[in-house]
């Protein structure tokens, strides 16, 4: 049950055509070294699920530039002109999803819920083609659960069982994506022995972490 | 005549007066971000950053930048004592659950029924909604802070022509010309910047503008 | 904005007929001193929302014995014979709710969601009178959001802004109940100055805590 | 003839063999709790306690009891190194999201289609479902561990007569008489305790009992 793997083993877990969830908010809390290794390997036809597409030289934005995605599900692409170009020229399909809806859809996928009932997006393009449900006189949009083949995550510290802690604004989607993917790979800045993280301080329990790679300091 | 920066600061300063002691506030990118600089000293306002914290503090010195502490625009910031970090699940629980007292956002267009368009121009500029749709549906009070017109074109309209970010969402619009409440009967001017005449403000507004009986000068 | 109040002020915030959420799992993580004070004051006709009814001499179980509830919404009453007696003799209405559904309903109430879509309870008494929804060939039960007038919570530490930390298995419902109540009162074992809790370590942000009382050591 | 305690330990020991290295397991109150004592030494199994942690460890010495670390029955326990505490939201996310590999529960009745009744006897005993309905709907594998009959009355039935805790939920039943798989064609006996004859086991079962072609002795 050793969860620690090499970068080479990690990139081999991501296959052409996979749906990948990637943690991070404008690149903050994204596993940068794992992304660099995936670009080097040249995986393709991926579907990306991520808060945003970061910048051309940072986070998943680098993967956009490397044209690794056939589809992108995200809340924001405004900081990465290449995403917008690929979308407008029809090279890449982009589905824009409200940020709060996206995280709840991922949580629903990981927590076994049938969907998310929300007011966000009512009366907008987001509502198109979706079911609305009236509950006690209020209308809600039904948004479906989302799952992925692989989650690529970042943490400040991981112990050998995969228990994770975080610093600053790096949690964002890293806490739920591991619940909604078949396997999850965490790039941790520091890996510590079992017992070094107090059970009270664990933010993500190791059961949601399949593999750990040693990312080193930021 | 104010230049662009003066105009933005004038608007931001007026928006700041709408924030109450103890309020939890989320500021959008751009002009709204400036509002934090003008909170009256007698009020303690908590700023939420939707990337995952409450207690947004000032920009740090260059040698004190922590790459993990940035605002929702990825700019280095600080967190104040008494602040807390959390994940996007909780961040949007706070937003969607009505725990944000006020959000301040920019807009491309606002309609007299409170509809707002601020996330895309089809075929041209498509940044995406980010957290804006969540903030518009969840925050208790929505203030749009923006210049009254865009290169002479109306932004306050009878109906939005761009794709909507939310319906019936805007409560108040603050521009360099005045303060407008969005009411069931439409736009109501409640404060007027004395630098502009009522006729000028009406001409800059693409929908009926009702003048409040208790109209005040904008401070 | 001083959130610290006296026990007397705290009990006066709970009124006859209120719906109260109380943290705790078989009494662990329950504000015992606040409960004792409420019993002494003699509030009545309350609706209780709690994981369970604990024991006759512990947690909300003491309030059951004091006959303070007209209705109890809970997942388990088996450890408190008085709850069962009151239910069977028709003195108190008891609604049994699956534990995972109950916590999600509270979260939905606090997070602005329209309801919870779950497979838990399908084909059982729990389903009766409720809507089921078919999503992509799967049937889910629609459970509605729950809110309360007051949440009575427990924490290990609170700072003066109401930021909370926890030890052991005391989190249970204490993390979400404050999101779904008009006001929340937290009995903390220890109250510390603002700045003494690292923002990375906060489990419940102070915005979900209206008032704090000093409960002292367990 | 085994006494009550011996019978329970015999069942618990057999259940333990169903747990695989690395599994996350949730044990119900009573007999199922005993399973933790019999996990084969070559397997590392993680136990979840639905009141909010993973890494359930042995009962502490009396002077080492921490009132905040108890199992779902409020009995003092310990947490092992590498364990973690969490709230009920995450605890039931783990359970309902299919992250629990196996749950072991007791039952009042199990039907040949996998229906189970274990939370109330109307008008008499109504403890409530606690987390049982969630575990039954969410866990990947559901094992019922119980004595084969209750004071001579059938517990394995064609149909449950008591209010159901879940439908089509049970995968395997382990009793002092044998190991039974719940299959699309009904109860299939796959292991037999040699202390009981097939006829005895059939007589103690209130539904058709199919005997597996590869029937083995129960160890």
- Look over chain D and give the mean of its residue pLDDT values, rounded to a whole number: 96
pLDDT at residue B125, as a whole number: 84
Compute the nearest-CA separation of A200 from chain D (Å): 6
Nearest to D27 by CA among D79, D62, D74, D72: D72
Note whether D131 contacts A: Cβ–Cβ < 8 A.
no
The span from the CA of D147 to the CA of D67, in Å, is 33
- Would you say residue C107 lies in a domain? no
pLDDT, position A1: 63
Under a CB-based contact definition with an 8 Å cutoff, are residues D191 and D139 in contact? no
- The 3-class SS string of chain B reads CCCHHHHHHHHHHHHHCCCCCCCEEEECCCHHHHHHHHCCCCCCCEEEECCCEEEEECCCCHHHCCCCCECCCCCECEEEEEEEECCHHHHHHHHHCCCCCEEEECCCEEECCCCEECCCECCCECCCCCCHHHHHHHCCEEEEECCCEECCEECEECCCCCCCCECCCCCEEECCCEEEEEECCEEEEEEECCCCCHHHHHHCCECCEEEEEEEEECC
pLDDT given for residue B2 in this prediction: 87
Nearest-angstrom CA–CA distance, B166 and B144: 13
Catalytic residues of D: 50
Q: What is the mean pLDDT of residues D58-77?
A: 95
User: Is C78 part of any domain?
Assistant: yes
Kindly give the interhelix angle for C99-111 and D88-96, rounded to the nearest 10 degrees.
Answer: 120
pLDDT beneath 50: ranges in chain C = none
Report the C-alpha gap between C98 and C82 in whole angstroms.
Answer: 20
The nearest alpha carbon in chain A to C168 belongs to A200
Within-domain flag for C110? no
Partners of D96 on chain A (C-beta within 8 Å) are 111-113
Query: pLDDT > 90: what percent of chain C?
Result: 98
- The DSSP bridge partners found for residue C142 are C117
Q: Which of these, C52, C39, C33, lies nearest to C218 by C-alpha position?
A: C33
Task: Evaluate whether residue C60 is within a structural domain.
Answer: yes
Mean per-residue pLDDT, D138-144? 98
Q: Is the pLDDT of residue D1 over 80?
A: no
The answer to whether the CB of A211 falls within 8 A of the CB of A183 is yes
Compute the CA torsion angle D63, D67, D69, D70 (nearest 10 deg).
100
Q: What is the pLDDT of residue D194?
A: 97
- The kind and range of the H/E element at D202 are helix D198-203
pLDDT confidence band for B123 (50 / 70 / 90): confident
Shortest distance between the Cα of A164 and any Cα of chain D, in A, equals 10
Q: Residue D108 carries which DSSP code?
A: S
Residues of B acting as catalytic residues:
50
Rounded mean pLDDT, D99-118:
98
* Chain D contact set for A110 (CB, 8 A): 93, 97
Which residues have a Cβ under 8 Å from the Cβ of B6 and sit 6 or more positions away? none
Per DSSP, the three-state class of D20 is coil
More confident of the two residues C148 and A218:
C148
Q: Does A139 touch chain D (CB under 8 A)?
A: no
pLDDT at site B1: 76
A89, part of any domain: yes
Å from B101 to nearest chain A CA? 17
Q: Which domains does chain B have, with CATH numbers?
A: 4-177 (3.40.1080.10)
Residue C1, pLDDT score: 63
* Chains contacting A (3 or more CB pairs within 8 Å): B, C, D
Return the residue in D49, D50, D83, D136 with the most chain A beta carbons within 10 A, the one to mutate for interface testing. D83
- Domain containing residue C196: CATH number: 3.40.1080.10
Tokens at B169, concatenated: 């969402």
CA distance D162 to A210: 41
**Once rounded to an integer, what is the mean pLDDT over residues B24-45?**
95
Domain membership of residue C160 (yes or no) is yes
pLDDT over 90 at A114, yes or no = yes
- What's the full length of chain B, in residues? 219
Minimal Cα–Cα distance from C134 to chain B, Å?
25
In a domain, A140, yes or no: no
What is the DSSP-derived secondary structure letter of residue C31?
-
CA A211-A102-D52 angle, to 5 degrees, is 55
Q: Does A217 touch chain D (CB under 8 A)?
A: no
Q: Is C163 on the interface with B (CB under 8 A)?
A: yes
Residue C66 lies in a domain: yes
Quick one: D197 exposed, middle or buried, by C-beta within 10 A (0-12, 13-18, 19+)? exposed
For the segment D81-104, what is each residue's pLDDT rounded down to a tens digit?
999 999 999 999 999 999 999 999
Distance from C-alpha of D36 to C-alpha of D27, rounded to nearest angstrom: 8
Sort residue D141 into left (φ over 0), alpha (ψ -120 to 50) or beta.
Answer: beta
Residue A70 sits in which domain range? 7-100+147-213
Tell me the pTM. 0.98
Best residue of A105, A116, A199, A200 to probe chain D, by most D CBs closer than 10 Å: A199
pLDDT per position as a tens digit, B74-96 = 999 999 999 999 999 999 999 99
**DSSP-assigned states of every residue in C152-169:** EEEEEEEETT--EE--GG
Given a contact cutoff of 8 angstroms between Cβ atoms, the answer to whether C147 and C161 are in contact is no
Q: What's the domain count of chain C? A: 1
Mean pLDDT of A128-139: 96
pLDDT at D68 over 80: yes
Q: Which residue has the tokens 């403000």?
A: B201
What's the number of CA atoms in the CB half-sphere (13 Å) around residue D6? 4
In angstroms, the CA B50 to CA B70 distance is: 11
Is residue A62 within 8 A of residue A86, CB to CB? The reply is no
Q: Are A113 and A103 in contact (CB under 8 A)?
A: no
- Residue for token pair 């001409």: B203
User: What average pLDDT does the segment A148-153 reach?
Assistant: 98
With an 8 Å Cβ cutoff, is D68 touching chain C? yes
């Amino acid at each position: 049950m050793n969860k620690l793997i090499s970068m080479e083993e990690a990139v081999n877990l991501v296959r052409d055509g996979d749906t990948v969830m990637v943690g991070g908010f404008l690149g903050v809390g994204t596993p940068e070294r794992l992304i660099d290794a995936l670009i080097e390997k040249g995986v393709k036809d991926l579907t990306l699920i991520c808060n945003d597409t970061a910048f051309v030289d940072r986070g998943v934005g680098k993967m956009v530039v490397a044209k690794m995605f056939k589809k992108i599900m995200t809340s924001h692409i405004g900081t990465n002109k290449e995403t917008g170009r690929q979308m407008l020229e029809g090279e890449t399909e982009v589905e824009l999803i409200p940020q709060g809806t996206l995280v709840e859809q991922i949580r629903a996928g990981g927590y076994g819920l049938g969907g998310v009932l929300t007011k966000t997006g009512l009366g907008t393009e987001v509502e198109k083609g979706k079911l609305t449900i009236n509950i006690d006189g209020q209308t809600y949009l039904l948004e479906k659960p989302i799952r992925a083949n692989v989650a690529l995550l970042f943490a400040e510290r991981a112990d050998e069982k995969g228990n994770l802690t975080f610093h600053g604004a790096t949690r964002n989607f890293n806490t739920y994506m591991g619940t909604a993917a078949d396997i999850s790979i965490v790039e941790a800045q520091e890996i510590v022995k079992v017992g070094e993280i107090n059970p009270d301080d664990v933010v993500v329990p190791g059961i949601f972490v399949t593999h750990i790679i040693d990312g080193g300091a930021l | 005549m104010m230049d662009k920066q003066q105009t933005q600061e004038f608007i931001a300063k007026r928006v700041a007066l709408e924030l109450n002691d103890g309020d939890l506030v989320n500021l959008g990118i751009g002009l709204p971000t400036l509002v934090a600089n003008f909170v009256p000293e007698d009020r303690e306002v908590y700023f939420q950053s939707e990337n995952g914290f409450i207690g947004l503090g000032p920009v740090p010195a260059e040698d004190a930048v922590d790459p993990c502490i940035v605002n929702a625009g990825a700019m280095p910031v600080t967190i104040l004592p008494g602040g807390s970090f959390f994940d996007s699940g909780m961040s949007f629980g706070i937003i969607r659950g009505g725990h944000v007292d006020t959000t301040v956002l920019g807009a491309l267009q606002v309609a007299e029924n409170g509809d707002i368009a601020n996330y895309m121009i089809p075929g041209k500029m498509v940044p995406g909604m980010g957290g804006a749709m969540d903030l518009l549906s969840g925050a208790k009070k929505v203030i749009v802070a923006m210049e009254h017109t865009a290169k002479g074109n109306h932004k306050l309209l009878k109906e939005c022509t761009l794709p909507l970010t939310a319906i019936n969402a805007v409560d108040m619009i603050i521009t360099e010309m005045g303060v407008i409440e969005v009411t069931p009967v439409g736009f109501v001017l409640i404060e007027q910047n004395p630098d502009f005449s009522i006729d000028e403000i009406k001409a800059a507004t693409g929908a009926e503008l009702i003048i409040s009986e208790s109209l005040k000068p904008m401070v």
